[in-house]
């Protein structure tokens, strides 16, 4: 989906923010329209998360599937790497020194 | 004795569906949670658009007409109008896809 530039969206120069949309319930067995809206939003499977800029168009799309999604307003979209980093738990250990590092200076 | 084709009452006696006529307290609690979740989504959309001094027709109409979870009567939360039913009400879980549809308003007087 081509993302319109922030200036075009906000003539009032309000800071651009995004909707974080999380698909909580699937549209299986619901009218095809709702499945179509999910597809248009880029939500292809349950537990998927997408970011869209705050516009009336996107709000209307979310409104159509409001029973299926969770929505938050965020300052910026997270990319895949950041999402993964947030999901990954701490390793439970830390490295004091690498093996062989004592000989590295010589 | 076991498995999908076991001789249970509902399979051997013909038309016998053992679906309770009313919601359990847990089902009701979850229903309230779902209602609040939809309220939250609508509030988020409204809040985000209001910052840009924008809104949509549907959003305005929803805010005007639809009661929020805490404003609803228990009767409307857990039952729906049905003209075929005695006293014109049936439990909400008889409504197809009841966990994924917004059913908040009923005909006035019923």
Residue ranges of domains in chain A: 16-76
- The whole domain housing B40 covers 23-94
| Closest Cα in chain B, distance from residue A67 (Å) | 6
Q: Mean pLDDT over residues B53-66, rounded?
A: 94
Position B14 confidence tier, pLDDT thresholds 50, 70, 90: confident
pLDDT at A12: 55
ipTM: 0.82
Is the model's pLDDT at A64 over the cut of 90? yes
Is the model's pLDDT at B18 over the cut of 80? no
Dihedral of CA atoms A39, A24, A49, A8 in degrees, nearest 10, equals 60
Count of A-B CB contacts under 8 Å:
61
Task: Tell me if B110 is assigned to some domain.
Answer: no
Joined tokens for residue A69: 């999604």
pLDDT at A65: 96
Is the model's pLDDT at A1 over the cut of 60? no
**Which among A38, A58, A63, A70 is the top mutation candidate for probing chain B, defined by the most B β-carbons within 10 Å of its own β-carbon?**
A63
**Which among A21, A26, A54, A75 is the top mutation candidate for probing chain B, defined by the most B β-carbons within 10 Å of its own β-carbon?**
A54
**Greater pLDDT, B92 or A13:** B92
Q: Which residues of A touch B53 (CB under 8 A)?
A: 12
Architecture of domain A16-76: 2-Layer Sandwich (3.30)
Position B62 confidence tier, pLDDT thresholds 50, 70, 90: very high
Joined tokens for residue A97: 């020194």
Number of domains in chain B: 1
**Cβ contact B52–A54 (<8 Å):** yes
B31 Ramachandran zone, left/alpha/beta (phi>0; psi -120 to 50): alpha
| Closest Cα in chain A, distance from residue B95 (Å) | 13
Q: What are phi and psi of A76, to 5 degrees?
A: -150, 150
DSSP state of B68: P
Sign of CA dihedral B57, A23, A17, B50: positive
Average pLDDT, chain B: 91
**Cβ contact B41–A62 (<8 Å):** yes
Average pLDDT, chain A: 86
pLDDT single digits (tens) A10-52? 555 556 899 999 999 999 999 999 999 999 999 999 999 999 9
B30: three-class secondary structure by DSSP:
helix
A40 inside 8 A of chain B by CB: no
Is the model's pLDDT at B10 over the cut of 90? no
Q: Which residues of B touch A70 (CB under 8 A)?
A: 37, 40-41
Task: Tell me if B17 is assigned to some domain.
Answer: no
pLDDT at B23: 94
CB atoms within 10 A of CB B15: 5
Task: Tell me if B58 is assigned to some domain.
Answer: yes
The Cα B31–Cα B108 span in angstroms is 22
| Closest Cα in chain B, distance from residue A57 (Å) | 8
Task: Tell me if B60 is assigned to some domain.
Answer: yes
Task: Tell me if B15 is assigned to some domain.
Answer: no
């Amino acid at each position: 989906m081509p993302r319109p530039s922030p200036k075009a969206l906000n003539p009032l120069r309000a800071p651009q923010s995004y909707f974080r949309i999380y698909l909580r319930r699937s549209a299986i067995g619901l009218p095809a329209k709702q499945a179509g809206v999910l597809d248009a939003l880029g939500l292809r499977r349950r537990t998927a998360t997408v970011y869209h800029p705050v516009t009336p168009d996107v709000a209307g799309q979310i409104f159509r599937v409001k029973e299926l999604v969770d929505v938050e307003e965020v300052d910026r979209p997270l990319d895949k790497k950041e999402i993964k980093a947030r999901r990954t738990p701490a390793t439970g250990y830390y490295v004091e020194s690498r093996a062989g590092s004592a000989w590295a200076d010589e | 004795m076991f498995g999908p084709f076991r001789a249970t009452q509902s399979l051997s006696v013909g038309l016998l569906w053992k679906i309770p006529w009313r919601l359990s307290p847990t089902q009701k609690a979850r229903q309230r949670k779902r209602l609040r979740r939809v309220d939250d989504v609508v509030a988020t959309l409204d809040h985000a658009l209001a910052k840009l001094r924008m809104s949509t027709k549907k959003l305005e109409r929803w805010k005007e007409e639809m009661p929020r979870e805490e404003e609803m009567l228990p009767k409307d939360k857990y039952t729906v109008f049905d003209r075929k039913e005695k006293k014109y009400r049936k439990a909400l879980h008889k409504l197809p896809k009841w966990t994924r549809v917004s059913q908040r308003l009923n005909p006035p007087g019923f």
